[in-house]
Amino acid sequence: MGLSKIILACLIASGLGACGNTLQDQALLGAAIGTGAAVVTSGSIVQGAAIGAGGNVLACQAKLVRCR
């Protein structure tokens, strides 16, 4: 996957970031979003899930996104 596709997938994941109540919820929601982004960009589904899970957990734990 090219760098531009990775950046696009990260932007999509961060834009759709959804916080769960627990760390596991955050990881699962991020993985689902990352998988969807990987499918759209024709990337690796496993890599997309890993990036999405990590990105969403980081965004939620660092309070980079507003969760309700």
- State the DSSP string of 19-55: --SSHHHHHHHHHHHHHHHHHHTT--HHHHHHHHHHH
**Nearest C-alpha neighbor of 41 from the set 7, 65, 67:** 7
- In this prediction the pTM is 0.68
Signed CA dihedral, 30, 32, 35, 37: sign only? negative
> pLDDT (tens digit, 0 to 9) for every residue of the chain, 68 residues total?
577 777 666 666 555 556 778 889 889 888 888 888 888 878 889 998 998 889 888 888 888 777 65
Check residue 26 and give its pLDDT: 87
